[in-house]
Amino acid sequence: MDSAARQQFLEDYARIRHAEGRGSANSAYYRELPDRDLSGRNPEQWRIRARSFHTFERTILADAERRAGRQLDVLDLGAGNGWMSYRLASRGHRAVALDIFRDELDGLGALAHYPLRFPAAAADFDFLPFREAAFDLAIFNSSFHYSSDYRRTLTEVRRCLRAGGSLVIMDSPVYRRSEHGEMMRAERQAYFEQVYGFRSDALKSIEYLDRRMLQELSDELNIEWQYSQPWYGLRWALRPWKAMLRGQRPPSRFLILVARFRDR
């Protein structure tokens, strides 16, 4: 990753996240995530994150625990303030929180708020500082869409997974068609430019997934995908119908995607 682009992204990202009210001086804020947003600034987003996490916890994680019969080594990719790593560590697993954002409110610096200690790494998705076959499970925690090259990112994660290990992608926007994802990206960048004075595109992130992308990734990287759809409530389920009636682009879906590499 170009160092100048990386630094620009981090500065832009910090400005946006702080303006959105992410983080708190109160340690209880972090310990309650994702179930409660004690700041009251982003409750709807955390409600979605909580539904995704608990669906993952009840199904994918419980199955991995059952099959392994031991503590799991889990890589939390795009860990942000570390809430998921904390939840995994509280469950007895060996979690590693990875992110490029070290901010004390919304990045790896916030790990000091947790009563449990777990390792952290400030690194890029495409250059993971781990040996081969180090993890049983890797989770992109509302972060996969920040990748600028899905093939390269997935190849690097595959290197770090053990035989039989799985990759989970949570809370990244998924569309049926790429043009709808491109419309979303253009709208998002226009909003940032209007509100903050910049487009927040220093790293050229892809920002979404679509069905064709997933099929191409499956064919090229020998991936078997499994999908699950958490229930986010009736209002969320009605979003596509409301968009159609208003003549708007279809909204994204939040699926939980599980990738198993057939050569692992």
Going by the DSSP 8-state scheme, the letter that residue 29 receives in this structure is H
**What is the pLDDT at residue 87?**
98
- Contact of 51 with 231, CB cutoff 8 Å: yes
Domains along the sequence of the chain with CATH: 3-261 (3.40.50.150)
- Contact of 105 with 165, CB cutoff 8 Å: no
How confident is the prediction for the chain on average, in pLDDT? Answer: 96
CA distance 3 to 11: 12
| Residue 134 reports pLDDT greater than 90 | yes
Distances (CA, A) of 156 to 13, 53, 229, 258: 24, 24, 26, 16
Written as one letter, the residue type at 18 is: H
- Contact of 194 with 10, CB cutoff 8 Å: no
Written as one letter, the residue type at 229 is: Q
pLDDT, tens digit, 9 for 90 and up, residues 230-251? 999 999 999 999 999 999 999 9
- Contact of 77 with 141, CB cutoff 8 Å: yes
| Residue 153 reports pLDDT greater than 90 | yes
Q: With the C-alpha atoms ordered 27, 142, 76, 128, is the resulting torsion angle positive or negative?
A: negative
Instruction: List, in sequence order, every residue forming a beta bridge with 77; answer none if it has no partner.
Output: 98, 140
Reduced to 3 states (helix: H, G, I; strand: E, B; else coil), residue 53 is helix
| Residue 37 reports pLDDT greater than 70 | yes
Q: With the C-alpha atoms ordered 131, 213, 97, 61, is the resulting torsion angle positive or negative?
A: negative
Question: Structure pTM?
Answer: 0.96
**What average pLDDT does the segment 204-221 reach?**
97
- Contact of 240 with 148, CB cutoff 8 Å: no
**Binning pLDDT at 50, 70 and 90, where does residue 2 land?**
confident
